[in-house]
Each structure stands twice: as structure tokens, then as C-alpha cells.
Structure 1
Amino acid sequence: MAWARIRTADEETVTGIIQGDMLLPRASLGSTIPAGAPIPLKDAALLAPCTPSKFIGLWNNYHASAERNGWAIPTHPLFFLKPASSIVGEGAEVVLPPSAGRVVFEGELGIVIGSPCKAASVEEAEAAILGYTCVNDLTSLDILNADPAFPHWTRAKGFDGFGVIGPVIATGLDWRQLTVRTLVNGRERQSYPAADMILSPPEIVRLLSQDMRLMPGDVIAVGTSIGARPVKGGDVVSVSIDGIGAVTVTMRDAA
């Protein structure tokens, strides 16, 4: 099953399930309650598939990158938060602010929470996962490392458009079987197995739920692996995961 969020020709925003070439509206994300007649997807624009109260991103959660960089293996998610204003979806244009300097893409798998989750067991955490989406966690390297006394995680990752998610939220996937691919202008730049994760999705959700209440629609980007590179104005960046699809954005220089 694939959940999506669309803008109709009448400028209405609708959440629902994709069935063939139609969207079946639902009362809310994860709901089984119908909320109107089916809507042809050809008459609508895909938006980011959810509106999270929290966008949580992980750092250093893949064995390959930890080994290459000599990083210690974490026992708890090393995380940061992106503001809601950073979130965009399929087909968006992302402006590169002059103050951002060097910006890199980071193709990632994203967990989407489907039910409230606090102080959960692993079983409860797994049950709280609605599904998975594609993420491009754009990051300003220059800002991140500008102050040796304080890495600017939120500022470096929080510009408008720097939290790309979509195109849909897919349910029923086995994350161990997924491969994350990132293409820039059609050329593959990342391709790595999600099975190389240090902390698994249920364990990530369990541990984060000890720190904060996770709510329906919250997104957790599980971290990236080797291959993140800088982007520039005009680049078309696509993060693709079989079973979910591809979320593509175009980078633009500020006017």
C-alpha cells in the first residue's frame, strides 16, 4: 500500500491511498475511514506525503561509513532535528542560499510513524511504524563546520527545502531488502543496502521514544552511507528506493 498527499486542481490538499491511477481519500494518515470520492492522480500534484511535527535525522548509522571514517559505533541514535519549514516533496525546486556555501545531498531511507509512541518496547516501536519513504537530507557543510566549538546541525540542515521526502509512504516493506540510490543529473552517485544499518528501524524508534513522544506523521531519516557529494544550481537530484519510488528535486541558485 502507498500513502500520498496531493494538491487537487481546486487547490485542495488531500491525503489518501494510491490505487492504480487514483487516490482514495482518507480521513487522516493511516486512517481506514473514507473521506470522499476517488481523485484521478493525473489531475493532481504530489506533495510531501505527510506533515511531520518532527523531522529527526540520524548521523553515523551505517557500518560502511563508520568504518571508512573511523567513527565509533553508536548505541543510541545520534540525531538532529529539521524544522517543518524545510520539508518539500516530489518535483520541488530547492533554492541554494548564498550563505549556505557547499551543500551536499544525502540519500536516505525514512521511517514514518503511524501511531503515538512513547517509552516503547521493540515490538511496540515496530508496530508504530506506518511505512517508509525516500529522503534527501540536504546539508550545508560550510555552516555545519564553521564553528569548532559548536557544530551547527540544525542551521546547516534546516534551510527551506533541505528536507526532501516522498514520493509516497510505502507500507509492508522489509527494510532489510531495500537499496538506497541517489542520482544527480541521471548519474548514480550512491547505491547502498539498508541492511548495513547499525541501528535497525524498530530499535531507532524504540530508543528515540525514550527521549520524546513520537507522533503520527513524524519522519525519521535513518542516516546515509558513503557517496554524499556537493550539488549546485541546475542539478536534478533523485533519491530512489524500490517499492517506494523516487523523489526528485531541482537545485536552484538564489536570484
Structure 2
Amino acid sequence: MKILRYSSNGEAHYGIARDGGKFERLAGSPLENLEPSGHFDDETSVVVLAPFHRPRVFGLGYNYRAHSKEVGKPSPTLPVLFMKPSTTVIGPEEPIVYPADGENVHFEGELVVIIGKEARNVSEADALEYVLGYTCGNDVSDRVLQRRESEFGCLLVGKGYDTFAPIGPVVETELDPANLRLVTRVNGEVRQDGNTSALVYDVPALIAYLSKYMTLLPGDHIMTGTPAGVGPIKPGDVIEVEIEGIGVLRNHVVAA
């Protein structure tokens, strides 16, 4: 099932993507139930939004060995975690704003896990029971700021500009995250071509690890890390992150 959030006549709704370009509205939030309302909207008359409004976003660094190698880092011995402010999140086709003082801003295509119910001290064996579904994400990063922060053991503003977390277009609820192809294109050219089978810490391991230390809440996002091939973007570029079974997240870059 593909769940999405969209705007129709200025109002936001959750819906289910149906055949024939139709979206069937849900009666409420998908974090509460998936009861359809029977009201349909045509995809040509709505604007698809980020799946959830201003969620908590957890990010993972160096979670593909090939990416660690390309940036000269060893493979981690524990999940390397950071958080992106909720104001980084934008939806499909919304612009990524290139900072006025930006010097070296990169794309990072990623699989994103959406938590569906409260999770605390969850085992790896049970972890996927707490997942609503999966979507595409782009962990946009200012490398200059990121490196300056990292010298002092922190990471926030380099990942935290407004618009630096495009998410979407849909949340697929019936998907095995263990073996999914992920492709990122810049202006139609393939820059990343990876597979979630290469994750250092897979989705169950990440949920179990995070929930050991903190309560995961419905709607929380876990960006699972990026494969090799990251690179710079500039105003005018179009970035596409495609994950099999989910679809394509497309955003263009504009100058501040």
C-alpha cells in the first residue's frame, strides 16, 4: 500500500494511491488507522507533500562501507547518529535552497524508515513490527560546515539548513527493506547506484539500537545512510532519488 499526504484546495489530507491516478482519502492519520473515507481525488488536481509535517529525523553516517571508503573513513563499530531539524523536511518537487554562503553542498540518496508506533527496548527480531513503511530521502549536506563541526565531535548545522531533507513521494507499507536498489540522478545522470543489502547496520538493527536509548515515536523518520557516489550540487540542478517499490523523489536546487 502506498500512503501519501497531499494538498487539495488548500487542505492537507492523507490518502492511498489507487489505480488510474486516483488518491483515496484516509479518514484520519495513517499513524492511527488506515481506514479509507471513500472520497477520491485525482492526482492531477493535488500537490503531493512530504509524508508527515515536521517529523523528528534521525540520520546515519557511514552506513555503507563503500561510502566510508570514498570519504576516507573506517567502517563504524556502532551506528553513527545525528539529527536533522524538523524544518529541514520538504516534499517532492519542492526546492532545495542552496545557502548564500554555501561552498560545497552534496546530495545523499537514502532509504527512509517511518516508525508507525511507539517503540522502546525493541528487539531486532520484532523491530519491523514497529514500522509503518518506507520512503525515499535526500540527506543534503554542507560539507564545509560538516567538517568544521566534526573536528569538535558534533554535527548539526551542516545537515540542518531549511530544505536539507527532501522526503517522499509515498510511504510504501508492504516492502522488505533488506534488498532494495537505490539510484540517485543529477540532471538525469546516475551518480549513485546502491542496494540496501550493503547497509552496515540494517533496519532492524537501527530500530533496536535507537529504541534501547530513547523512545521512538509514531512518525519518526530514520534516514539509513547513503551509498557511494555522493557529490556536489548547484542551483539549477535536478536531483532524483529512486528506490524500487517506492518511486522517485524529485527536487530542484535554487539559490537562496
* TM-score, normalised relative to structure 2: 0.93
What is the alpha-carbon distance in structure 1 between the residues aligned to residue 54 and residue 117 of structure 2? 12
Q: Structure 1, residues 2-51: CA drift from partner, whole Å, max 9, x if none?
A: 0100000x101001211122222221124123346122222101001123
What is the alpha-carbon distance in structure 1 between the residues aligned to residue 149 and residue 68 of structure 2? 23
Within 5 Å, give how 1:1-255 maps onto structure 2.
1-8=1-8, 10-20=9-19, 21-26=21-26, 27-30=28-31, 31-35=33-37, 37-51=39-53, 53-69=55-71, 71-147=73-149, 149-150=151-152, 153-254=155-256
Residue 216 of structure 1: CA displacement? 1.4
| Matched position secondary structure for 1:109 | strand
Unaligned runs of 5+ in 2: none
TM-aligned CA distance change 1:135 to 1:148, over 3 Å? closer
TM-aligned CA distance change 1:128 to 1:243, over 3 Å? same
What is the alpha-carbon distance in structure 1 between the residues aligned to residue 77 and residue 111 of structure 2? 19
Aligned amino acid, residue 175 of structure 2: L
2:114–2:221 CA contact under 8 A, matched in 1: yes
Q: Structure 1, residues 153-210: CA drift from partner, whole Å, max 9, x if none?
A: 2101111110011111112112233111110000111101110001110110110111
Aligned amino acid, residue 102 of structure 2: A
| Matched position secondary structure for 1:51 | coil
What is the alpha-carbon distance in structure 1 between the residues aligned to residue 110 and residue 15 of structure 2? 24
What is the alpha-carbon distance in structure 1 between the residues aligned to residue 79 and residue 54 of structure 2? 19
2:67–2:229 CA contact under 8 A, matched in 1: no
What is the alpha-carbon distance in structure 1 between the residues aligned to residue 14 and residue 125 of structure 2? 27
What is the alpha-carbon distance in structure 2 between the residues aligned to residue 73 and residue 151 of structure 1? 17
Greater than 6 Å deviation, 4+ residue runs: none
The worse-fitting range, judged by mean Cα deviation, of 161-170 and 22-31 is 22-31
Aligned residues: 253
Aligned amino acid, residue 29 of structure 1: P
Q: Structure 1, residues 206-240: CA drift from partner, whole Å, max 9, x if none?
A: 10111221111111010012110000010000101
TM-aligned CA distance change 1:108 to 1:163, over 3 Å? same
| Matched position secondary structure for 2:245 | coil
1:29–1:217 CA contact under 8 A, matched in 2: no
TM-aligned CA distance change 1:148 to 1:66, over 3 Å? closer
Aligned amino acid, residue 22 of structure 2: M
